[in-house]
Amino acid sequence: MIKADRAKLVSNILNEHYPETPVPLDHESVYTLLIAVLLSAQCTDERVNKVTPALFDVASCPEDMSKVSQQKIYEIIKPCGLGPKKSSAILELSKILVKQFSGQVPRDINELEKLPGVGHKTASVVISQGFGIPAFPVDTHIHRLAQRWGLTKGKNVVHTENDLKKLFLKDDWNKLHLQIIFWGREFCQARECFGIKCKICVACFPKRTKPFAHKRP
């Protein structure tokens, strides 16, 4: 089976299981989505969703957040981990949005990546889920699944992102990003499937009998 055939198979299975793709991080605006995605680094979406209501009760827009002390932000977001770094980033990026962007989150991915605490993956999520602009955010989990499914031989997330963008239609990128995340959490976990148990792994490589060896990013 060639890579394009595996991509079609993956897409068909994902569309069957996840016709709807709700954004897993609770948010009310592009700004609150940005903050939630920033907090999700090395933290579960579930925990972020428990923390953000208290944070957004204090401030839910850049203008208000820029007036909150870093200590106050830190006290609220501490359960998400990396508290000092994340609280500093939230405060500083809020000030930048007020001063340079009239309090609006920029739609330009390059401008987003210049903000404190916002890397390429975070910016891609905001662009795709916040503005509906085609992007294909790839984290270590999607990188792992794409390898298991024979969609990439990339040694890092950048290579994998480029490979996935070539395989799938641009209009499907935003949906696929979420579908792959959902599938990985439900059926193709790192320490349970091993590339040999879930429906997609079996369909893509029916003769695979040994656990798949990943190339780490």
- Which residues are catalytic, by number? 121, 139
Q: Coil, strand, or helix at residue 32?
A: helix
Which residues, 6 or more positions from 62, have their beta carbon under 8 angstroms from its beta carbon? 31, 93, 94, 95, 97, 98, 103
| Rounded Cα distance, 176 and 92, in Å | 32
Dihedral of the alpha carbons of 155, 110, 43, 149, in degrees to the nearest 10: -30
Q: Where are the alpha helices (DSSP H) in the chain?
A: 3-17, 30-39, 45-58, 62-65, 70-77, 83-101, 109-113, 120-125, 131, 140-148, 157-167, 173-186, 199-204
Nearest to 158 by CA among 200, 119, 115: 119
In residues, how long is the chain?
A: 217
| Rounded Cα distance, 80 and 163, in Å | 31
